[in-house]
Structure 1
């Protein structure tokens, strides 16, 4: 069972890398318009919320396990091989570069969330502290 899970993880990493290749190929002028159309649809679908939520048994993972790989495969077949190979190299470079930047971006977003929580907390406290009770409870 562990071997199957390891294979699926490897396959998922490869698919993620291919999404970057599709995105880079979409931006490449040598890619035909129809390949660009399919590529951008697949990339948008991959990064959009699921059409079928994952909590629905079997059907929930259908899009992740079948539709997305089929879309990626179709889009890659439509892109010229030279463009794919060049963009695979670019994607690999971006992957190496991105690992360093991910920490900085992550820290930046953590600070933004902390700031928002503190700000909303202060607003909430100010609103509730300025509200005077409009009734006198009977004892």
Structure 2
């Protein structure tokens, strides 16, 4: 059972990198490219939208939202292209990082903080 979970986690990590590759490939359909960009940006961001220290919700995004986004993006990409992207992802030595995704997440948190402050003191 533990080996099965480890294989699933490795496949998810590989697929995130494959989606990162797909988002930059001109052969990827536009809708798939948009979904792949959002999913890869979120998954590769060093900052979570919902921090892990928040009980239940902190891990919910990692356990449900990211895999669901990956599955959706994969369904939108032609099978032959996805296999090529997975092969390219397997050859990636270092996992890419997405600072733009981190900036967007920090901006969302800042906007929510501003809205909360205006609501409380406005």
Shared fold per TM-score greater than 0.5: yes
User: Could you list the runs of 4 or more consecutive aligned residues of structure 1 that deviate by over 3 angstroms after TM superposition?
Assistant: none
Q: Which has the larger radius of gyration?
A: 1
Q: Summarize deviations over 1:3-26 as a string: whole Å, max 9, x none.
A: 3x4433322211010011111111
After superposition, where does 1:27-46 map in structure 2 within 5 Å? 27-46=24-43
Q: What is the match of residue 11 of structure 1?
A: 8
- Secondary structure in structure 2 of the residue aligned to 1:8: helix
- The separation in 2 between residues aligned to 1:54 and 1:16, in whole angstroms, is 18
Q: Give TM-score scaled by structure 2 length.
A: 0.70
Partner SS for 2:17: helix
Please, which of 58, 80, 84 is the counterpart of residue 56 of structure 2? 58
Question: Which whole-Å CA distance do the structure 2 matches of 1:7 and 1:82 have between them?
Answer: 25
Q: Any unmatched runs of 5+ in structure 1?
A: 103-139
Q: Which residue number corresponds to residue 70 of structure 2? A: 72
| 1:67 to partner: Cα distance | 0.2
Does residue 84 (structure 1) correspond to residue 118 (structure 2)? The answer is no
| TM-score normalised by L of structure 1 | 0.62
Higher relative contact order (CA 8 A, sep 6+): 2
In 2, Cα distance between equivalents of 1:56 and 1:7 = 27
Q: Which residue of 1 aligns with 2:17?
A: 20
Once the two structures are superposed, what CA deviation does each residue of 1:25-51 show, in whole Å capped at 9, x if it has no partner? 112221111110000000111122111
Q: Please give the root-mean-square deviation of Cα atoms over the aligned residues, in Å.
A: 1.7
